[in-house]
Amino acid sequence: MSTTMAETQKGATLRVEIRRVIRASRQRVFEAWTKPEEIRKWMAPGAMNAAEVESDGSNGGKYRIVMQGSIEGKPEDAERRVWVEGEYTAVIPNELVSYTWRPAWSPGEESQVTLRLRDVDGGTEIVLTHERFATIESRNGHERGWTNILDKLANYLGR
């Protein structure tokens, strides 16, 4: 796994890039990322779970993911619910998924997530790029979240 961050001199571009190899076909990874019944099984950081998922994984389609629980697994936060929603801006089956990211926990922030898939020995390489964060704190929090979520995806699909 590798992670990079780029910032312009004006601070306009904050981004996360994570590379990961998953022991599954590109088709299987693509389906896990775009089908609601699949997303429910892994798309939430830490001890959270994806309690509700709506997803039309086609160009222009919308999605909404409601995550429940606590990232740290605190029992008092078991019923806590947060959500993220957006629109798919580019979808090429088994190759590319790109969508806007509007998290309820950061009102007014809209960033962009792009997932590129390619065949490699032993499975599929995922290159996840998340960019256009409003703050460095948001960027750092999302880096931690995506790292954890990709671990869950790898466990779900088979490291």
pLDDT at residue 159 in the model: 60
For the chain, list the domains and their CATH numbers.
Answer: 2-157 (3.30.530.20)
Tokens of 120: 């490699």
pLDDT at residue 76 in the model: 80
Alpha-carbon span 9 to 112, nearest angstrom: 20
The reported pTM is 0.88
Alpha-carbon span 147 to 43, nearest angstrom: 11
pLDDT in tens, the chain (159 residues): 544 444 433 345 799 999 999 999 999 999 999 999 999 999 999 889 999 999 999 999 999 999 999 877 677 877 889 999 999 999 999 999 999 999 999 999 999 999 999 999 999 999 999 999 999 999 999 999 999 999 999 999 986
Give the relative orientation of helices 136-157 and 26-34 as an angle to the nearest 10 degrees.
120
pLDDT at residue 4 in the model: 46
The beta strand positions in the chain, using DSSP E, are: 2-4, 15-22, 49-55, 62-68, 81-92, 96-103, 111-120, 123-131
CB 87 within 8 A of CB 110: no
pLDDT at residue 12 in the model: 54
